[in-house]
Structure 1
Amino acid sequence: MKNGMIRFLLLSFVLFFTLSTSITGVQAVPASKEKSPDLEKAEVFGDIDMTTKKQTTVIVELKEKSLAEAKDAGESQSKNKLKNARSKAKSKVAKAVKNGKVHREYEQVFSGFSMKLPANEIPKLLAVEDVKAVYPNVTYTTDHLKKKDITIAQDAISPQMDESAPYIGANDAWDLGYTGKGMKVAVIDTGVEYNHPDLKKNFGPYKGYDFVDNDYTPKETPVGDPRGEATDHGTHVAGTVAANGTIKGVAPDATLLAYRVLGPGGSGTTENVIAGVERAVQDGADVMNLSLGDTVNSPDWATSTALDWAMSEGVVAVTSNGNSGPNGWTVGSPGTSREAISVGATQLPLNEYAVTFGSFASAKVLGYDKENDMKALNHKEVELVEAGLGEAKDFEGKDLTGKIAVVKRGNIAFVEKADNAKKAGAIGMIVYNNYAGEIEANVPGMSVPTMKLSLEDGETLVKNIQKGDTKATFELTVSKALGEQVADFSSRGPVMDTWMIKPDISAPGVNIVSTIPTHDSDNPYGYGSKQGTSMASPHIAGAVAVIKQAKPKWSVEQIKSAIMNTAVTLKDGDGKVYPHNTQGAGSARIINTLKADSIVSPGSYSYGTFLKEKGKETKKETFTIENQSSIRKSYQLEYSFNGNGITTSGTSRVVIPARQTGKAVAKVNVDTKKAKAGTYEGTVTVREGGKTVAKIPTLLIVKEPDYPRVTSIDVSEGSVQGTYEIETYLPAGAEELAFLVYDQNFEFMGQAGIYKNQDKGYQYFDWDGKINGESKLPAGEYYMLAYAANKGKSSQVLTQKPFTVE
């Protein structure tokens, strides 16, 4: 949300709570206020609306252990035994539940099935003794940025993978003979155009499976599918992993398997994602990549659980961390998985430019392109052409060849405005704000050099153009040379409940050019630029394939720890080290990992929460150090934390013989008198022979964590005309929850409802469309804001798009 808007909304809360004291009735009614006693018999995640007869799909986990879970526990298990257990459970469910229908069944990394049933029958399902837990069938989407006017970097066409793959050390690994050969990498995504010339040799006769259309041709959604938009995401991801043609992926000789779990428009659900993970394990994948996610910060969603068990089966699961940054606590499932490698996105080094033109003091560079293009524009007199909002229709009939487009923010993404300008022949673009003040976004990677202005300066510029003053000269200078930076959009941890550091590792994810289908029959195979943690994750999946080829005896835990141990620590533009929950262990470097002869596990660690009100509280963790060299080694360890009242101690020296393993204990002590409430970071530094072997990120939280009290809100049409359903997610419940309505100009209209003591998870409310319990909203488009307070802290979130009142 825009900072200016946040300030405005906070001021509105003063008005809101003044108004609320005189209102005794509320018009919205919680869809689920009381739970049946049967709910205690099985755990339910997400607080699914169980008062409606609406058909709902859920994921049912059984008490009978999956093949992977039983194997990990050292227990005997078989497919036949699991089949019988499912049959028994399904029979009981059929007797208990009306109008239920089982869809997909799982046994490899998840024990249970997906099921469609009336929502108000779920309490009966929970009472079936064989049922362990019930999860919502949440929607997953691709973790790349597209068609959304948000204040972060977006798609662009420029830096290619021939920069990002070598940057993380792929070329160096190839020179050593490690190209991913013999490794199978599963791409669990929107499908793959496996006939693309750059990908064809990576696929064998068996391509994978399509869980959307239930066949053996897991291709992308084509143009014209009545169910939704065409896709190209999975093909782009596959190219980053293993393309071997015009573009070279990180592991160009790896074998690819495609599992289409996201359908038209790049959207899919839990039941297909789990099915894709299961099939990938069964098909013998060595690595799997999931560049997808939702916004729910919880470690226990069914998909995250499935990935944890896939890792236990020896399949390295790599997943994107999400694109909801830069705030903390924004990581979403399956990036919240305890075991899988979650990947954040970075931007390769670049020069930051400053711009001066005319008397416009607010002028700044919004996006970067090729440096030669920036230099070509420097001191060049150009013609300015006003082009509305920068939509395609705004360029119709206008000659922009060699000129600069001047457009207003709004309606479509910055990147789309730039793309439209480029198509019209423009060599640059100026975009001005659509509300008072400057555009706070910094969006590297536009398709043309782009400058930004405040609303006031923009309106002045447009008036000048309309008067005939259409010439301008830009002075562009390098203001700062930036190293590899974490992308603003990259989601941050920690994870709720486990308090784990996420991401685990970072990799390039800004402006990555890779393979795509063009959906043009005359020229079906092409290349496109995308960005997001979706693009970072396959860099690591490819890196893992290379590492696994080179180190075939390494376990999944060793691979994860080694790639984290050998990462490069990243610093922001001011030279400050990024927090652990921003960069993870740092930016991956394949060659460093291949040369490592010591591994420290785990690769990061959270000591969790310290909640004592008085006195001191101590916790400890044991770290394993593996000496994989042929000589005896002596390791020195240092411990640190960044807060007052927190002290550290532990094993200071460990001597480990060749090819043996040693252990070190790290302790933290929190003095509640000195340590203020908050999240604190620490580091376990391991050195050998004067060389740093690893820097292990650690974390602890003093008192109540500062997680967001509300993370999402959506407003949809209700079952009765003129009514609405409000859906919101409360990570740990709320002592107070309020819904506020704003018009399109973000003027406060009134409240939709106030509630007390709401449960954690998804909550649903019926709303009759009235504000302040009195008057109906006039026809138009509106935004709704959810405000939640819990345990002395509060937060707020706005609907991503307006809802319509007719």
Structure 2
Amino acid sequence: MRRLMIVGIGLAAFLAACSGPQRVQPQFEPVQEIATSVSALNTGAAEMVDETPTAWLVELSGRPKIEGGSDASVKADKDNFRALAQANGVKFRERFEYSELWNGLSVEASASEAAKLRGIPGVKAVWPVLTVSAPQPVDGGSETDMFTAITQTQVNIAQNTLGLNGRGVKVGIIDTGIDLEHPDFAGRIRYGFDFVGDAYNAADPNNSTPIPQPGPGTRPGGDDCNGHGTHVAGITGANGTVKGVAPEVTLGAYRVFGCEGSSSADVIIAALEKAYKDGMDVVNMSLGAAFQWPQYPTAVVSNRLVKKGVVVVASAGNSGANGAYSLGAPGVGEDVIGVASYDNVAVFLNFFTISPDNQAIGYGPATGAPTPPTSGSLPMARTGTPAATSDACNPLPAGSLAGQAALIRRGGCTFYQKAFNAQQAGAAAVVLYNNAPGRFSPTVAGTPAITIPVVAISDTEGVLINNRLATGPVTLTWTNQSGSFPNPTGNLISSFSSIGLSPDLTLKPDLGAPGGLIYSTYPLEKGAFATLSGTSMSSPHVAGVVALYLQAKPGTPASEMRTILQNTSDPKRLSVAPTTGLLDIVHRQGAGMVQIVDAINSTTRVTPGKLSLGEVESGSVTRTLTIRNLGNDSETYTFSHVAAPATTGTFTVSYFNAPSLVSFSSPSVTVAPGSSASVNVTITPNTGLANLAQFGGYVVVRNSEGATVARVPYAGFKGDYQGIQALAPTTFGFPWLARLVGTNYVRQTGASTFTLQGGDIPYFLVHLDHPVAKLQFEVLNASNNRPVHPVFNKFVDLEYVGRNSTATGFFAFAWDGTRIHSNMDNGNGDNSLFKTVPNGSYVVRIRALKALGNENNPAHWESWTSPVITLARP
């Protein structure tokens, strides 16, 4: 059964800064509503989200070729794995195999079979193959380029004054492909490969075999029937109607998405290997699997690419509404440039006009409604006031809106419900306006379908129309025109941009670029141009910036590129309360908005480019910064500090004004040309800030003239990181012992018997409120609660497991009555890797090692013991 779940994040704003930490109250609702389609299981009381993977990446212990492995050695590793798996009856189906950047395979298997894979000799780790989704388009206007976005990052100056265009730099776009016929890319798509074909959709259980299907003839990368990749590539390097950041780069199109739906991590790794073989200088991935550790394979493979001289840029993720620790892999990778999104300062939109002065009102059409007309007029009517909290959420009087365009404020119910109620009341069109600063992209898809045009406008435009309607009639006139409209949230972090830190408390994301409301290329058959939003749009902007830098300064090591860009990035104001003047949290914007001209012209280099302070249970933490003078004259540098807010919570994020104390071993250093000097930075979290909080700020470096020449972001965790509960019960009382009845998991609250025949097997449902370092399921004798074997008693043994995406999500693990055994001969010739647990009565103990926990410290483990399970095979 498929149902729709609305997921939100509570965001608190700030009061004015004061001497101590102060909790502040919400100023407005979340800017964006997130709707997620989930597989719901009917428990009779509520809905849950089953997030159990069905495919797995099997990492083998031998070295990949990039780290010294040979063709023969990696082949032998795989052959040995296959032979042992077959000999022990492990059931799986292969999807991909890897050799260059990662030694292993991807397979399709149940969770219980995946647990067995971990016990095969030579297997280093088993990871879930996670799906990544391409965002849907939001129609834009017909303007000719991204000129407002490129002014935010100094790209316009780099192009027009410095004469940079990215010529000679190869940028690989791992995405949905690129429209090979689009004139804005003429002659510059010279590399690529289609890994999936049109029909592939990783989220479709009926089409789960991603067989590479190259495009026709010798053309690279197939084609783009989705649109996302063409849009992404245009931001990096279009050169025509749209002029991208680096309009003369050479492009590689590596297609990992079909026409619709999702891709998967194993396909992405295959594309990374191909991009490496093709010699890309920069690789962009506007994609990611959310809630992941930096140890996830796509991140690890990306790190290896950087070590081999390829700059890898990736989206931080669009899971901001899902709370903290929501970053995606590969963007969370240690050496990857993980990119956050800021909103564009302007947006090109179609517009209608309103009487009496024909004022233009820019709008975005709602998904799921008919295309708005380009001519004709309608009288307008309002259904509520600017203070309404649930405008048009209830049925409206029949005929009350007959032939009119209904103005409806956002909030209180779904966009579909508002549009449907207006339609039933006779409305000829619906104009939705925001209940928070900025613009939004609604969907009114539903059953029965909406049959009238529905458009969205900003909060200020909505209030303007509402006020006019309060004093007299207003007429809406549709036009075929478009124009540039100011975006109230311009230069602020986009509401969808994911929130860090990384599960290992590394500072992520690294920096940001415009990604909200970006106009770029689109497949010709889909209109040639469109406006989309996402960290998918900010990442290729940074990839283009990297190309400009590499053109200006060829030979720059890939490993230094992130630091160079971070040093000169510009942090922006707090998006949830911009009028306070405070900076946004470091674990959402990183170093800030990238500034390419400042990066190129900088004569100062500060390393490291960021300070990940980790867990600070008490006291202070000290780090060392090294300042290098790349100029021709001696320079005296001084140091200061600018605080950023702190936050608590995971699914619900609360903001606090709690500046840290920062001191320096020396207030200044003088550095000769070509030399360097170091300074120690001591950071003390605010003592009034509650524990289990993320905090951060910026070290500011100024030259002898007082100009800021570098900033270094820092972030850490105050308190005992292992104090965060991982095995949270939620409203459903997880973990569960369960039986699968049809499509429903039925909770077993007492002793239960299973025959292990057909589908009569026990399932264990686990909700993870926080990422865990290990997740283990142990089999114990029910009579004495002792393990069935002193060492080999597990049937699930996983590492680096990300948290559930929602407060009600869970992972389901089936037990087939076996346990992982020794891979050594026990003296009687039995080399079986898995042992059958005899019929009898047992309990299962689930153990989770908390993030960064010490496995030898019992306090760092959480556990739960099931009701008695009786295995009664016939």
Give the alignment's TM-score, normalised by structure 1.
Answer: 0.68
2:342 touches 2:490 (CA, 8 Å); kept in 1?
Answer: no
Corresponding position of 2:74: 82
1:100 aligns with 2:84: no
How far 1:221 sits from its partner (Å)? 7.0
Specify which of 480, 498, 507 is matched with residue 491 of structure 1: 498
Q: What are the equivalent positions in structure 2 for 1:313-324 lying under 5 Å apart?
A: 313-324=308-319
Task: Classify 1:2/1:260 alpha carbon distance in 2 versus 1 (closer, same or farther; 3 Å).
Answer: closer
Instruction: Select which of 200, 205, 210 maps to 2:186.
Output: 200
Pair 1:301-2:316 in alignment: no
Q: Is the 8 A contact 2:607 2:626 kept in 1?
A: yes
| Deviations 1:232-267, CA, capped at 9 Å, x for gaps | 000110111101111111111100001111223241
Partner of 1:577: 583
* From 679, 690, 704, the counterpart of 1:664: 679
Does residue 392 in structure 1 map to residue 439 in structure 2?
no
- Structure 2 residue 349 is the aligned partner of structure 1 residue 349: no
Q: 1:87 to 1:623 in 2, by over 3 A?
A: farther
Contact 1:343/1:503 (CA < 8 Å) preserved in 2?
Answer: yes
Counterpart of 1:355? none
The counterpart of 2:608, out of the listed 599, 602, 612, is 602
Length-normalised TM-score, structure 2: 0.63
**Which of 145, 150, 161 is the equivalent residue of 1:165?**
150
8 Å CA contact retained: 1:168, 1:589: yes
- Matching residue's letter, 2:556: W
Instruction: Verify: 1:237 aligned to 2:232, yes or no.
Output: yes
Aligned to 2:523: 517
The aligned counterpart of 1:730 is 769
Deviation of 1:80 (Å): 3.4
1:311 — aligned with what? Answer: 306
CA distance in 1, matches of 2:456, 2:803: 43
What amino acid maps onto 1:695 in structure 2? Answer: R
User: Are residues 678 and 634 of structure 1, via their aligned partners in 2, closer, same or farther at CA, if it must alter by over 3 Å?
Assistant: same
Deviations 1:278-334 (A, max 9, x none): 111121111111111233242222111111221111111111112222544332222
Q: What CA distance in whole angstroms lies between the structure 2 residues aligned with 1:126 and 1:394?
A: 52
CA RMSD in angstroms, aligned pairs only: 5.1
Inter-partner Cα distance in structure 2 for 1:383 and 1:203 = 39
* Residue in structure 2 matched with residue 127 of structure 1 by the alignment: 119
- Please tell me the residue identity of whatever aligns with 1:171: N
**Selected match of 2:63 from 62, 65, 70:** 65
1:708 deviation in Å? 9.3
Q: 2:708 aligns with which of 692, 696, 699?
A: 692
Q: Return the offset for 1:377.
A: 3.6
Per-residue CA distance 1:82-117 (angstroms, 9 max, x = gap): 333333333333333433333322223222111233
SS at match of 1:102: strand
Aligned to 1:503, the other structure's residue is in SS state coil
Aligned length: 637
Asked if the contact 2:317/2:328 (under 8 Å) is kept, the reply is yes
Q: 1:720 to 1:304 in 2, by over 3 A?
A: same
For residue 378 of structure 1, report the CA deviation from its aligned partner: 6.9
Tell me the secondary structure at the aligned position of residue 392 of structure 1: coil
Partner of 2:206: none
Residue range with higher mean Cα deviation, 663-672 or 253-262: 663-672
The answer (yes or no) to whether the contact 2:214–2:221 under 8 Å persists in 1 is no
The 3 A distance-change label for structure 1 pair 674 and 178 is closer
Deviation of 1:342 after TM superposition, in Å, equals 1.2
2-side partners of 1:211 and 1:677: how far apart?
Answer: 43
Amino acid at match of 2:569: A
Larger helix share, 1 or 2: 1
- Code of the residue aligned with 1:430 in structure 2: it is V
Where does 1:748-767 land on structure 2 (aligned, <5 Å)?
Answer: 761=803, 763-765=810-812
Q: CA deviation at 1:185?
A: 0.5
Contact kept, 8 Å, 1:202 with 1:243, in 2: the verdict is no
Deviation at 1:644, TM superposition (A): 7.2
Partner SS for 1:507:
strand
Measured after TM superposition, the shift of residue 641 of structure 1 is 6.0
Give the secondary-structure state (helix, strand or coil) at the position aligned to 2:280: coil
**Is residue 167 of structure 2 the alignment partner of residue 181 of structure 1?**
yes
Amino acid at match of 2:630: Q
Matched residue, 1:678: 693
Q: 2:543 aligns with which of 541, 547, 572?
A: 541
- Contact map agreement 1:610 1:703 (CA 8 A) in 2: yes
- Map of 1:782 onto structure 2: none
Equivalents in 2 of 1:156, 1:252: separation in Å? 21
2:639 to 604, 619, 637: 637
Aligned residues of 1:609 and 1:701 also touching (Cα < 8 A) = yes
1:194/1:416 CA distance change after superposition, 3 Å: farther
Secondary structure of the structure 2 residue equivalent to 1:519 = helix
1:141 alignment partner in structure 2: 133
1:111–1:183 CA distance, 2 compared to 1 (3 A): same
CA contact (8 A) 2:194 2:221 kept: no
Match of 1:280 among 270, 275, 280: 275
Q: Which residue of 1 aligns with 2:834?
A: none
| Match in the other structure for 2:665 | 650
Deviates most, 486-495 or 619-628: 619-628
Distance 1:597 1:237, change over 3 A: same
What are the ranges of 5 or more consecutive residues in structure 1 without an aligned counterpart? 8-24, 33-45, 50-55, 71-75, 147-153, 223-229, 351-367, 433-437, 735-758, 768-788, 793-806
Letter in 1 for 2:511: I
Q: 1:451 to 1:251 in 2, by over 3 A?
A: closer
Letter of the structure 2 residue corresponding to residue 139 of structure 1: T
In the alignment, the residues of structure 2 paired with residue 126 and residue 472 of structure 1 have an alpha-carbon distance, to the nearest angstrom, of 67
1:504-524 deviation line (CA, Å, top 9, x unaligned): 11111122111111436xxxx
Amino acid at match of 1:582: R
Q: Distance in 1 between matches of 2:418 and 2:314?
A: 25
Task: Give matches, 1:404-803, under 5 Å.
Answer: 405-406=405-406, 430-431=431-432, 439-440=435-436, 442-443=438-439, 450=457, 471=474, 484-496=491-503, 498-519=504-525, 526-572=528-574, 573-574=578-579, 575-611=581-617, 616=619, 618-638=620-640, 643=658, 646=661, 648-669=663-684, 677-690=692-705, 691-704=707-720, 720-721=741-742, 723-724=744-745, 729-732=768-771, 761=803, 763-765=810-812
Deviation at 1:2, TM superposition (A): 5.8
Secondary structure, aligned partner of 2:96: strand
Q: CA deviation at 1:273?
A: 0.8
Letter in 1 for 2:548: V
Q: Is the contact made by 2:147 and 2:156 (CA closer than 8 Å) also made in structure 1? A: no
Unaligned stretches of 5+ residues in structure 2: 1-6, 13-24, 26-42, 198-210, 381-403, 443-453, 478-484, 645-657, 747-764, 774-800, 805-809, 815-849, 852-858, 861-874
Q: Percent identity?
A: 26
Contact 1:67 1:108 in 2 (8 A): yes
SS at match of 1:443: coil
Q: Which amino acid is the alignment partner of residue 392 of structure 1? A: A
Separation in 1, partners of 2:625, 2:486: 44
Conservation of the 8 A alpha-carbon contact between 1:369 and 1:448: no
CA distance in structure 1 between the aligned counterparts of 2:730 and 2:139, rounded to whole angstroms: 24
Equivalent-residue separation in structure 2 for 1:647 and 1:551 (angstroms): 34
Q: SS of the counterpart of 1:665? A: strand
Q: How far did 1:443 drift?
A: 2.0
Contact 2:638 2:703 in 1 (8 A): yes
Distance 1:334 1:309 in 2: 12
Q: Which amino acid aligns with 1:485?
A: L
Assess, with a 3 A threshold, how the Cα gap between structure 1 residues 471 and 112 changes in structure 2: closer, same or farther: same
Classify the secondary structure of the residue corresponding to 1:238.
helix
Distance 1:511 1:480 in 2: 9
Q: Which residue in the other structure is 1:749 paired with?
A: none
Q: Is the 8 A contact 1:184 1:287 kept in 2?
A: yes
Which amino acid is 1:247 matched to? V
SS in 2 for 1:241: helix
